[in-house]
Amino acid sequence: MTAKGIRVLIIDDEPQIRRMLRVALNAHGYETGEAQCGETGLQQAALFRPDLIILDLGLPDLDGIDVVLNLREWTTVPILVLSVREHEQDKIKALDAGADDYLTKPFGMGELLARIRAALRHAGGSTEDPVLLFGDLSIDLAHRVVTVTEKEIKLTPIEWDILKALAINGGKVLTHKQLLHTVWGPGYEGEMHYLRVYVGQLRRKVEINPAQPGHIITEPGVGYRLL
């Protein structure tokens, strides 16, 4: 996918971070806009019409969560939140409030670009193709067939639902709450241990080495993503 002309708005109060992101993203063909606080960020989001927003949760004027909620009132533009490790709960809140993904500072550029691509892909609605490929793992949504290195594997209904939810959001993090809600339905959002058990089972089926998974990645304290 080419990044030509894709507009990214960076909302962060640290000029160094903004500069680093601007240089790196420009080098990869993205067009960038910048805002140093939440208020300008919200204005810029309307004026600059970005295709993706990178939002730092620790802004001087507004709570990052409020910025997400505010944006989500009128736009579905993908939002990537940046947070520091100490504030686990903030990023979960931001994700549940409608942010698409998160990165913990400090992060590598490769990681950032991968997240941006995943978020854009998801936003583009490019899941028309019923067969989703993740390396040696292929998921045929239409025929409910999952193969690993071209060998078909059998999944229980719950396992299938989890894998499907992750696959549709390919590369994007799904919080525990979101997954539990999607798979088990409302009222199960607190039953994290269901998820742990089924993800464990699922890994045994789709991963070559379940102890060091390459597809179903745990985001500690947050959720899972499929790569």
**Minimum CB distance to another protein, residue 220 (Å):** 5
- Other beta carbons within 10 angstroms of residue 88's beta carbon come to 14
Residue from 88, 136, 140, 189 that binds another protein (CB under 8 A)?
Answer: 88
* 85 or 144: CB nearest another protein: 85
**Minimum CB distance to another protein, residue 127 (Å):** 26
Q: How far apart are CA 81 and CA 62, in angstroms?
A: 14
Q: Is the preceding omega at residue 106 within 30 degrees of 0, hence cis? A: yes
Residue from 106, 110, 125, 186 that binds another protein (CB under 8 A)?
Answer: 106
Burial track 199-210 (b if 16+ CB lie within 10 A, e otherwise)? bebbbeebbeee
**For residue 199, how far is the Cα from the chain centroid?**
18
Q: Which of residues 150-209 bind another protein (CB under 8 A)?
A: 156-158, 184, 192-194, 196-197, 199-200
Residue from 5, 16, 86, 128 that binds another protein (CB under 8 A)?
Answer: 86
* 13 or 161: CB nearest another protein: 161
| 3-class SS of residue 65 | helix
38, 85 contact by CB (below 8 A)? no
| Interaction site with another protein (CB under 8 A) | 85-86, 88, 106, 156-158, 184, 192-194, 196-197, 199-200, 210-213, 217-218, 220-221
